[in-house]
């Protein structure tokens, strides 16, 4: 039996090293998010595209002349031509497969929580009922190292719609149609999404429904939320009964679902810097429990408390979309289901491995050393989020 012992430390070390060397460890969610707001009526079409300034600096080499990782107004003015090219090449609005010419009317720096964004305001010609419109986003399309998403909210002739462009699904398609109403006819849209954008050669188009795009967004959100995953590992690492594991997973699910919903509805708001620091602290606390507590009891209660904080972290990406309240319930449900699908998969993967680990004589030491590594990484994140 002892000849199998090295496998477990190697596996545990691999998992911890993967966390340590994952990109952007100081951030809760290491992907770039763009926000697109489309407003369409009978007179004109307005589009506002908002992208974090760090992504702008990454996409236009040399724009950050003083290398301080801050996009300044003077740098925007000096590189206006390059910025216009970046936006016009990265985003297109097509009518019947014919690209429409935009007019960029303004670019403004905006600050949301502790992050800076650049909002670009564009106008397009008006579109009429019966026309098929396609919005295409090509940012980071061929960059496999960046988990980029574009979160769309649209008001088309007064009707609201939302969508998520991610991975290779980069085209949001809708047909503007007329709807008969009791007092006459008014132009209203029917929106469908999302279709993958063809690159070098035509691709067979398949349609993803709106609910599934938010389901995938939830999956991506937790898969790139390395601190959430490390917290989950810390919770499960110490040997417990099946009943205790079930209570932990259930309490975490209920807690983050509650706080996620309250945050997106705007009923609970905390500074993102505090939330991210508290998430890092939760990792340290649970790992220290693994090291110093002789017996793990009632972990579900502390998990519930920290789960409320993690839910606020999950909510950040949806809060920026300003989704109409009439659509929030379905959006939240699908987003949360995506999170839960990944979380449950990870639990089902880890528990058999941990059960195998506990069979060995030196398993206690492995859990202790692994917990020390988790404390160290959580402490690094905590320091960065408080002082940097």
pLDDT, tens digit (0-9, with 9 covering 90-100), for 155-179 = 888 888 888 898 888 888 887 765 4
Task: Please provide the average confidence, as pLDDT, over all residues in the chain.
Answer: 82
Strands lying side by side in the sheet with 33-40: 103-112, 115-124, 45-52, 33-40, 149-156, 159-166
- Does residue 350 have a pLDDT over 70? yes
Distance of CA 7 to the CA centre of its chain: 33
- Does residue 186 have a pLDDT over 80? no
- Does residue 194 have a pLDDT over 50? no
- What pTM did the predictor assign? 0.77
202 band by pLDDT with thresholds 50, 70 and 90: very low
d(CA 108, CA 89): 19
- Does residue 323 have a pLDDT over 80? no
Tell me how far CA of residue 76 lies from CA of 73, 119, 158, in angstroms.
Answer: 5, 12, 34
Lowest mean pLDDT segment, chosen from 33-47, 163-177, 252-266, 328-342: 163-177
- Does residue 259 have a pLDDT over 60? yes
pLDDT, tens digit (0-9, with 9 covering 90-100), for 52-79 = 998 899 899 899 988 888 899 999 999 9
Tell me which of 206 and 364 has the higher pLDDT: 364
Q: Tell me the CA end-to-end span of the chain in Å, nearest whole number.
A: 47
Neighbours of 201 (CB within 10 A): 5
State the Cα torsion 378-228-152-78 to the nearest 10°.
10
d(CA 164, CA 150): 6
Q: With beta carbons less than 8 A apart as the criterion, state whether 371 and 290 touch.
A: yes
Cα 262–Cα 264–Cα 266 angle in degrees, nearest 5 = 70
Q: What percent of the chain has pLDDT over 90?
A: 48
336 band by pLDDT with thresholds 50, 70 and 90: very high
Distance of CA 259 to the CA centre of its chain: 16
| Candidate ranges 8-17, 126-135, 178-187, 321-330; pick with highest mean pLDDT | 126-135
pLDDT at residue 43, rounded to an integer: 86
The alpha-carbon radius of gyration of the chain (Å, integer) is 23
pLDDT, tens digit (0-9, with 9 covering 90-100), for 86-100 = 999 999 999 888 899
Quote the crossing angle between the two packed helices 325-357 and 363-387, to the nearest 10°. Answer: 150
Distance of CA 190 to the CA centre of its chain: 27
Q: With beta carbons less than 8 A apart as the criterion, state whether 55 and 62 touch.
A: no
Sequence-distant (≥ 6) Cβ neighbours of residue 378 within 8 angstroms: 227, 230, 280, 281, 283, 284, 287
Average pLDDT over residues 102-120: 89
Tell me which of 115 and 145 has the higher pLDDT: 115
pLDDT at residue 145, rounded to an integer: 61
């Amino acid at each position: 039996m002892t000849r199998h012992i090295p496998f477990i430390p190697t596996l545990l070390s691999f998992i911890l090293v993967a966390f340590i060397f994952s990109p952007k460890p100081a951030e809760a969610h290491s992907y770039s998010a763009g926000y697109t707001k489309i407003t369409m009526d009978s007179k004109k079409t307005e589009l506002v595209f908002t992208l974090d300034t760090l992504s702008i600096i990454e996409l236009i080499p040399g724009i950050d002349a003083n290398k301080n990782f801050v996009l300044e107004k003077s740098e925007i003015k000096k590189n206006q031509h390059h910025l216009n090219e970046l936006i016009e090449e990265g985003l297109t609005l097509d009518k019947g497969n014919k690209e429409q010419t935009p007019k960029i009317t303004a670019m403004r720096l905006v600050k949301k929580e502790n992050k800076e964004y650049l909002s670009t305001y564009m106008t397009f010609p008006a579109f009429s009922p019966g026309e098929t419109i396609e919005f295409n986003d090509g940012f980071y399309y061929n960059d496999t190292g960046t988990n980029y998403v574009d979160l769309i909210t649209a008001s088309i002739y007064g009707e609201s719609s939302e969508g998520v462009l991610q991975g290779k699904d980069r085209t949001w398609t809708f047909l503007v149609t007329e709807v008969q109403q009791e007092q006459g006819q008014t132009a209203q849209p029917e929106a469908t999404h999302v279709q993958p954008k063809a690159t070098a050669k035509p691709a067979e188009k398949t349609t993803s429904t709106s609910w599934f795009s938010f389901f995938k967004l939830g999956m991506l959100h937790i898969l790139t939320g390395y601190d959430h995953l490390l917290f989950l590992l810390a919770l499960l690492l110490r040997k417990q009964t099946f009943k205790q594991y079930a209570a932990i997973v259930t309490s975490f699910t209920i807690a983050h679902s509650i706080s996620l919903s309250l945050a997106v509805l705007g009923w609970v708001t905390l500074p993102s810097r505090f939330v991210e620091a508290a998430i890092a602290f939760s990792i340290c606390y649970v790992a220290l429990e693994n090291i110093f507590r002789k017996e793990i009891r009632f972990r579900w209660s502390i998990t519930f408390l920290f789960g409320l904080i993690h839910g606020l972290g999950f909510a950040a990406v949806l809060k920026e979309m300003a989704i109409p309240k009439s659509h929030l319930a379905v959006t939240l449900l699908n987003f949360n289901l995506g999170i839960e699908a990944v979380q449950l998969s990870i639990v089902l993967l880890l528990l058999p491995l941990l059960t195998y680990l506990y069979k060995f004589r030196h398993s206690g030491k492995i859990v202790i050393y692994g917990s020390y590594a988790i404390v160290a990484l959580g402490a690094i994140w905590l320091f960065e989020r408080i002082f940097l």
